[in-house]
């Protein structure tokens, strides 16, 4: 497996850094964003390190897409958002802040206009409670 010792997402994937995990398998990890743009904001990453969509391999991008859809369905069932933003950023100019390929799922309720990224760390207890609701719907 390709990894980078200074990449926080590689450390999360390997279990060396904490995360509120929703689901993991041999090739992907889905976990809650610690600075959520909205309640239920989560990320899906490949376990293998790829800087951006420009260098992610076919199997990793396919595995991530499969899990993104599965997580979107679980979030929809658990939180009943009226919409959901599925986004992916490549390069600093585009808003990428962690240089490990990943996809954001941001549930959106009517009237909300969440930013692309959260601005501050969320309450860990609240994030865990929402994660439990999502896990129960997988």
Distance from first CA to last CA of the chain, Å, rounded?
27
Most distant CA pair in the chain, distance: 43
Nearest to 88 by CA among 74, 70, 76, 106: 106
Supply angle C-alpha 120, 134, 99, rounded to 5.
45
58 contacts 23 by C-beta, under 8 angstroms: no
Task: Count Cα atoms within 13 angstroms, Cβ side, for 114.
Answer: 25
The residues annotated with a catalytic role in the active site are 102
């Amino acid at each position: 497996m390709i990894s980078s010792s200074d990449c926080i997402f590689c450390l999360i994937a390997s279990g060396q850094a904490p995360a509120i995990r929703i689901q993991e398998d041999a090739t992907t990890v889905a976990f809650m964003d610690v600075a959520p743009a909205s309640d239920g904001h989560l990320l899906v990453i490949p376990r293998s390190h790829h800087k951006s969509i420009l260098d992610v391999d076919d199997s990793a991008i396919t595995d991530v897409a499969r899990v993104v859809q599965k997580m979107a369905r679980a979030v929809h069932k658990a939180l009943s958002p009226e919409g959901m933003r599925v986004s992916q950023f490549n390069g600093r100019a585009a808003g990428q802040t962690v240089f490990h390929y990943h996809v954001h799922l941001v549930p959106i309720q009517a009237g909300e206009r969440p930013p692309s990224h959260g601005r501050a760390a969320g309450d860990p207890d609240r994030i865990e409670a929402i994660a439990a609701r999502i896990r129960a719907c997988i």
